[in-house]
Amino acid sequence: MGEIIAAAAAELPAWAEGTVNLASPRLGSEAVACSDDSFAAMGRMLGDAAPVFKPDVYDDFGKWMDGWETKRRRDTGHDWCVVKLGARGIIRGVDIDTSHFTGNYPPAASLWASDAETAPEDDAGWTEILSSTPLGPSAHHFAEVAEAGPWRWLRLNIFPDGGIARLRVYGNVVADWPGNGTVELSALNNGGRIVAYNDAHFGNVQAILTEGRGVDMGDGWETRRRRAPGNDWIIVELGAAGVVEKIEVDTAHFRGNYPDRCSLQAILAGAHDDAAITVQSVNWSLLMGEKKLQADTVHTFEAADLADLGPVSHVKLNIFPDGGISRLRIFGKKA
Mean pLDDT for the chain?
A: 94
**Range 100-123 average pLDDT:** 95
SS3 track for 51-93 = CEECCCCEECCEECCCCEECCCCCCCCCEEEEEEEEEEEEEEE
Tens digits of per-residue pLDDT, 197-235?
A: 999 999 999 999 999 999 999 999 999 999 999 999 999
CA distance 213 to 235: 20
Tens digits of per-residue pLDDT, 27-65?
A: 999 999 999 999 999 999 999 999 999 988 888 888 899
In DSSP terms, 248 is beta-bridged to 300, 329
Closest to 81 measured CA to CA, from 68, 67, 94: 68
In DSSP terms, 79 is beta-bridged to 158
Q: How distant is the alpha carbon of residue 87 from its chain centre?
A: 11
**At residue 42, what is the residue type?**
M
CA distance 93 to 106: 19
**Range 302-322 average pLDDT:** 97
In DSSP terms, 31 is beta-bridged to 83
Task: Report yes or no: 318 and 265 within 8 Å, Cβ to Cβ.
Answer: yes
* Region of 152 on the Ramachandran plot (φ > 0 left; ψ -120 to 50 alpha; else beta): alpha
CA distance 93 to 58: 34
- Residue ranges and CATH numbers for the domains of the chain are 14-173 (2.60.120.260), 183-334 (2.60.120.260)
Instruction: Give buried/exposed letters for 303-318 (b at 16+ CB in 10 A, else e).
Output: eeebeebebbbbbbbb
Quick one: pLDDT at residue 61?
A: 81
Quick one: pLDDT at residue 303?
A: 92
Burial of residue 247 (number of CB atoms within 10 Å: 0-12, 13-18, 19+): buried
pLDDT above 60 (res 113): yes
pLDDT above 60 (res 134): yes
The structure's pTM equals 0.90
pLDDT above 60 (res 1): no
